[in-house]
Amino acid sequence: MKFLRKTLLIPSLVTAFGAMSNALGAVDTGPTIRYGVEKVENLEIFFREAGDPANPAIVLLHGFPSSSHMYREVLRELSDSYYLIAPDYPGFGDSSFPSPEEFTYSFDNLARVVDRFLEQRGLKTYSLMIQDYGAPIGFRIATAHPERVQSIITQNGNAYKEGISPAGWGPVLDYWKNKTPELEKTIIENVFSYEGMKWQYTHGTRNPESISPDNWNLDYAKISRPGQHRVQLDLFYDYQNNLKLYPQWQQYLRDKQPPVLVVWGRNDAFFPVAGAEGYKRDAKDIDYNILDTGHFALEEDYKIIAEKMRRFLQARNIR
């Protein structure tokens, strides 16, 4: 009798679970973020993408020490109207991490690989969203292909000398003048440490306790891989060459006049608001916004920034 009751109960449970599954299937679970790898020059370039490729494209270029992970919320927020794609640079995130003997880690080379990646993915026109390292990579691409860039969105993506904080860049500025093992040790102990990773995400934020530790845990795990310190030191040293190109990038803004959206964390220890103000001199069509947050403004204000991006692009018929 007990067995009979159990056998009669099973179809009822199946029916109930089926109804529940149908109900859940009808619930909007949000946009789908897709993950892939593109082979570029014998490198596997990892990327995140969302939205319909037939829609206007936004290329999301990440900063140090992050990866495409930093754009996870932007991918979700804007994929209903735009196609978004965020690659990891060589040596970052889940992309290939060749040794410095196999690949020269310079911003010229990172930009070349990202440019080739975009061409292989078939992107003909796009808006560039740049943050931190994304700025020197994005501006190299923009100056090489100005006809492809529909707009520039800068979230603490600097292109002006006054946007370099002497205090925030202290040891690195010294490193440019005197490349010594002692300075390398100082940078490794302070910038590449777990606390250094955490500080970059929480400094200057309104609510540090709201910033997900997944960020610095992921970045610290990646930067702690054997050989990573050498890679990042090489890029720190090469960053001085970006400053030499600032006049060229500013001339590009003046000559080509892409619409520019500025969404800048005012409390950034590395790129102060003076860097944001520089864009006002060169861009005629500018939407200028200073936010009360830190270097990684998306962590605290992604909804605000995504909405400003949507309105900015729609107002310029990039939709």
Which residues are known to be catalytic? 295
Cβ proximity of 88 and 62 under 8 Å: yes
Residue written as token pair 């864009």: 279
Cβ proximity of 37 and 79 under 8 Å: no
**DSSP state letter for 263:** E
Residue 150, SS3? strand
H or E segment and range at residue 290:
strand 286-291
Residue 57, SS3? strand
Cβ proximity of 66 and 110 under 8 Å: no
Cβ proximity of 273 and 130 under 8 Å: no
- φ/ψ bin of 204: left (φ > 0), alpha (ψ from -120 to 50), beta (otherwise): left
Phi, psi of 35 (to 5 degrees): -125, 140
Cβ proximity of 129 and 312 under 8 Å: no
**DSSP state letter for 151:** E
Cis-peptide, bond into residue 259, ω within 30° of zero: no
- φ/ψ bin of 207: left (φ > 0), alpha (ψ from -120 to 50), beta (otherwise): beta
H or E segment and range at residue 114:
helix 107-120
H or E segment and range at residue 130:
strand 126-130
Query: Shortest CA distance to 40 belongs to which of 124, 134, 116, 119?
Result: 116
Compute CA distances 87 → 79, 134, 240, 274, whole Å.
16, 11, 24, 28
